[in-house]
Amino acid sequence: MVNLKWLVLALAVAMYALVIAKQDKKVIFTSVTALLVIGLGIAFPGAIFTSGSGRFYALTHAFSSLVNWNVLMIYVGSMTIAALFLYSKVPAKIADFLVKVSPSTGLAIVLILAMTGIISIFVENVATVLVMAPIALSLCKKLKMNPTMFMVGLAVMSNLEGTATLVGDPPSMIFASYAGYTFNDFFVHAGRLSIFFVVQSGLLAGCIFFYAVFARLKEKTEVEGEPVISVVPAILLLGLIFGLAAISFIPNEVPFLSGGFVMVLGLAGILWYIFSQKKSGIETWELIKGLDWETIAFLIGIFVVVGAISETGLLKDFADFLARITGGNKLAGFILILAVSIFISGFVDNVPYIIVMLPVAGNMAESMGINRELFLFALLIGSCLGGNLTPFGASANVVAMGIVKKEGHPMSFAKWLKLGGTFTLITTAAAAIVLWLLWA
């Protein structure tokens, strides 16, 4: 049998290099690489996908087993509901309420930032920043305050909560696919508090950090509120949360049940948008077209390529290497995964990194004979919170930078690093300590 694992590795390395260099072409690079890998599997049956040897097994295996359609369905459905939730103006109304009830502007800003993080659990990070930005800018103009720190706060707080639940961000969905986690497992798993509560420790630390930043703003101010268009999207969002929680209790879950459920809710939202809101076909198409389809296409290619790498045994080899260089020391392995994840995610997209490293971290924990959650959660925390390290570590950061530049306050790399870097270290340290206490 031909051993093609090094060729597959070379293709994957080239793909990642191109994705990093040309982010706007990432779907092309991942799709072409996936097709090349499938082509090799067809040309050399059994050489890559060793679980079958038929001539076209590689093609059927790639799209029936390697691509996790349930995760993709959850992503599409939740994106649809999130877009409608933002359209409803409910988030803006909640922010207005927080400003009114807060005894000081400084505390109001911290509460708005905390709310931004909570909303981003269910809504895409960039969309969360865009819907909260007008509130932040309005408040800053009333106070005659530079909006830079507020906008950076919106970006980093939205990034922080992305991995807290199954429907938060693509990394959490990819993790659920790999680890076999249900919606409820993100809250409690194996009788222990899970990743949701680990992330909340980071949120608490982040709120304390920003309170120290904005505590000097003692006076109280008001903002002009916007009327809520409808509460229907909020009801759909609550239905999504409680529905996925209920499905998690079903033993031997029916394939695609959770994905199908979320898709049905998304379709119900689209029908509400058309008939209740009297939107035209063009307006509806614009809403659907505005969803993050690029990430869906990107994930399909990544699922195939990383699945091929895994089946050749390369990821296990890498995990064994990391276990050797840490000397089998649990704390050394924990710190290594956390530190490397923070650094890499500060500069590159965390989705491809997560997909490659999840099986590596899992195999590494297995080879060291320890609980895999310790390393898997360290990977999630480091890669998601690490995106706050630099102004281009996450899309939300880039958007926030663009907004403050448009407002006449361009921000340098050094200035972001001073605020975002400090935030990253504080929140990651808090989450890592709680994770160690819970799972070590």
Residues 383 and 297 occupy one common structural domain: yes
Residues 146 and 45 occupy one common structural domain: no
Residue 27 has what pLDDT? 85
Residues 259 and 247 occupy one common structural domain: yes
Collect all residues with Cβ–Cβ distance below 8 Å to 286 and sequence separation of at least 6. Answer: none
- 55-64, 281-290, 309-318: least confidently modelled range: 309-318
Q: How far is the C-alpha of 297 from the C-alpha of 118, rounded, in Å?
A: 27
pLDDT > 50? residue 113: yes
> How many structural domains are present in the chain?
2
For residue 380, give its domain range.
69-439
pLDDT > 80? residue 288: yes
Structure tokens belonging to residue 424: 């990253």
Phi-psi bin for 220: left (phi > 0), alpha (psi -120 to 50), beta? beta
**Residue 252 CA neighbour count, 13 Å, CB half:** 0
Residue from 227, 232, 234 nearest 275 by CA: 232
Is residue 291 a contact partner of residue 79, using CB atoms and an 8 Å limit?
Answer: yes
Q: How confident is the model at residue 182 (pLDDT cuts 50, 70, 90)?
A: confident
Residue 50 has what pLDDT? 64
Residues 54 and 127 occupy one common structural domain: no
Question: Taking all residues of the chain, what is their mean pLDDT, rounded to a whole number?
Answer: 83
Q: Can you list the pairs that 147-152 forms with residues at least 24 positions away whose Cβ atoms lie under 8 Å?
A: 147/403, 147/404, 147/407, 147/409, 148/404, 148/409, 148/411, 148/415, 149/213, 149/214, 149/419, 150/109, 151/400, 151/403, 151/404, 152/400, 152/404, 152/411, 152/416, 152/419, 152/420
Q: How confident is the model at residue 377 (pLDDT cuts 50, 70, 90)?
A: very high
Is residue 208 a contact partner of residue 159, using CB atoms and an 8 Å limit?
Answer: no
Residue-wise pLDDT for 64-103, tens only, equals: 888 878 878 877 888 888 788 878 888 778 777 777 778 8
Residues 164 and 242 occupy one common structural domain: yes
- 293-312 vs 69-87: helix crossing angle, rounded to 10: 160
Residue 436 has what pLDDT? 95
Tally of CB atoms within 10 A around 101? 10
- 96-100, 158-162, 171-175, 220-224: least confidently modelled range: 220-224
pLDDT > 50? residue 397: yes
Asked which of 66, 97, 112 is the last residue of a domain, the reply is: 66
Residues 45 and 89 occupy one common structural domain: no
pLDDT > 50? residue 341: yes
Residues 39 and 96 occupy one common structural domain: no
Residues 34 and 171 occupy one common structural domain: no
pLDDT > 90? residue 196: yes
Residue 1 has what pLDDT? 42
Which of 41-55, 75-89, 244-258 tops mean pLDDT? 75-89
Q: What is the mean pLDDT of residues 34-45?
A: 86
In percent, the amount of the chain with pLDDT more than 90 equals 21
In percent, the amount of the chain with pLDDT more than 70 equals 94
Q: How confident is the model at residue 349 (pLDDT cuts 50, 70, 90)?
A: low
Q: How far is the C-alpha of 269 from the C-alpha of 229, rounded, in Å?
A: 14
Q: How confident is the model at residue 23 (pLDDT cuts 50, 70, 90)?
A: low
pLDDT > 50? residue 280: yes
| Positive/negative CA dihedral, 82, 67, 376, 5 | negative
Q: What is the mean pLDDT of residues 10-23?
A: 81
Residue 187 has what pLDDT? 93
Residue from 112, 349, 97 nearest 223 by CA: 97
Residues 36 and 90 occupy one common structural domain: no
CA 419 centroid distance within chain: 21
Residues 364 and 396 occupy one common structural domain: yes
pLDDT > 60? residue 57: yes
Residues 61 and 83 occupy one common structural domain: no
Residues 146 and 244 occupy one common structural domain: yes
Q: How close are the terminal C-alpha atoms of the chain, in Å?
A: 42
